[in-house]
Amino acid sequence: MKSIRFASIVGLIFTCLTVTLSTSCKKATNPNASIEIPELKLKNGQTIRTIIETLSEGGTMQILGSAQAGNGEMFIQRVRVFDMTKNKDHFVYDIQKNDSVASLMWKKQDIPSETKSTLIGRPITAVKKDGQWVLQLTEGNASPKQMEEIKTFEAHANRGWHPRGPVKIGDSWTFEPKFISHIIHKDLENVEAIGTLTLLAVEDGNAAISVKIKGGGTQVDEKGSISKADIDLTGSAIYSLETGLEIALDMKGHVTSGVQHTNGEIKAVRLPLVIKDRKKILD
């Protein structure tokens, strides 16, 4: 596998983001030329390793209007490590880690929590049906917790990361950011978000792409309580035009959610997020 000049392409991304497509960015030979963003190119037996870290430091929770009123500080870290191996017309997932740790400092008490993956040692088969990836345990039936975890990997697989045709520098296209919005689905089931990608530059067979995710929603339950949520993330991605692999993704922003109960209690949570996603093809 050819090595990627990370320092060069990362520098390219930040220069482009700062100067907004300035002439200092090394673009394609013809800036007006269209390029194809290819699908993943893997041979049978090849494996992709993905490492995703989601970190929230300095998160806050506030409750007003009840005996529970107060302010708290939150910390959340989630790490996913998984391999995807190409096998003829499908992929096999090997989940190595999908763990999270969290703590809430509430009224001078540290309340920790921790979750572990339910899929360690349980291979998952991914098959494309009607243009969508469908994931299920390779053997046996999934428990409700395993099914819930599988759905998060399925959402990641079905982002729709590719444009629907050739694109030029400056062109934008949308994708499905459910792999982000699931973070607050527990607070707001109908949360909606729109992801936008924009091609910034091309150098040495790698594409620099900006990423934006915005969305949220409001819902009222049968008791009249009102829930609200908001997502606002921006960042950049490095994409290999040779392998069709998204080499790196870096994003930051915030997720907020809140609920106003009919009894007057208001609960609000704000989580600053930093997301790092690294992929590589194993030899």
Q: What is the DSSP letter of 35?
A: B
* Global pTM value: 0.82
pLDDT greater than 80 at residue 19: no
The pLDDT of residue 277 is 94
For the cut 50, the answer to whether the pLDDT of residue 87 exceeds it is yes
Chain-wide mean pLDDT for the chain?
Answer: 85
Look at residue 83 and tell me whether its pLDDT is greater than 60: yes
Is the pLDDT score of 195 beyond 80? yes
Residues with Cβ within 8 Å of residue 38, at least 6 apart in sequence: 162, 241, 244
pLDDT of residue 219: 81
**Cα–Cα distance, 78 to 102 (Å, whole number):** 9
| Residues 130-145 as b or e (16 or more Cβ within 10 Å = b) | eeebebbbeeeebeee
pLDDT at 7 over 90: no
Lowest mean pLDDT segment, chosen from 1-5, 50-54, 96-100, 221-225: 1-5
| pLDDT tens-place string over residues 271-281 | 999 999 999 99
**What is the tens place of the pLDDT at every residue in 50-79?**
999 999 999 999 999 988 899 999 999 999
Which of the residue ranges 5-9, 47-51, 153-157, 192-196 would you say has the lowest mean pLDDT? 5-9
Q: Which residues pair with 270 in a beta bridge?
A: 60, 256
Provide the residue type at 143 as one letter: S
Cβ distance 53 to 79 under 8 Å? yes
Q: How far apart are CA 109 and CA 123, in angstroms?
A: 39
- Residue ranges and CATH numbers for the domains of the chain are 6-282 (2.30.230)
* Contact call for residues 132 and 158 (beta carbons, < 8 A): yes
Average pLDDT of 116-122?
96
Instruction: Give the pLDDT confidence score for residue 137 in this predicted structure.
Output: 97
User: What's the confidence (pLDDT) of residue 186?
Assistant: 54
DSSP string for 46-87: -EEEEEEEEEEEEEEEEEESSTT-EEEEEEEEEEEEEEEEEE
- The confidence score (pLDDT) of residue 1 equals 36
Instruction: Look at residue 12 and tell me whether its pLDDT is greater than 60.
Output: no
* Residue burial 212-233, b: 16+ Cβ < 10 Å; e: rest: bbebbbeeeeeeeeebbbbbbb
pLDDT band at 4 (very low <50, low <70, confident <90, very high): very low
Write the burial class of residue 261 (CB in 10 Å: 0-12 exposed, 13-18 middle, 19+ buried).
middle
Written as six digits, the tokens of 277 are 């996603």
Which token pair is 123? 């291979």
Q: What's the pLDDT band for 194 if we cut at 50, 70, 90?
A: confident
Q: Are 46 and 281 in contact (CB under 8 A)?
A: yes
Q: What is the pLDDT of residues 209-246, one digit of tens each?
A: 999 999 888 888 888 888 888 889 999 999 999 999 99
For 122-150, what is the mean pLDDT? Answer: 95
- What's the confidence (pLDDT) of residue 20? 35
User: For residue range 22-40, what is the model confidence (pLDDT) as tens digits?
Assistant: 333 444 446 677 888 888 8
Instruction: Find the mean pLDDT for residues 124-143.
Output: 95
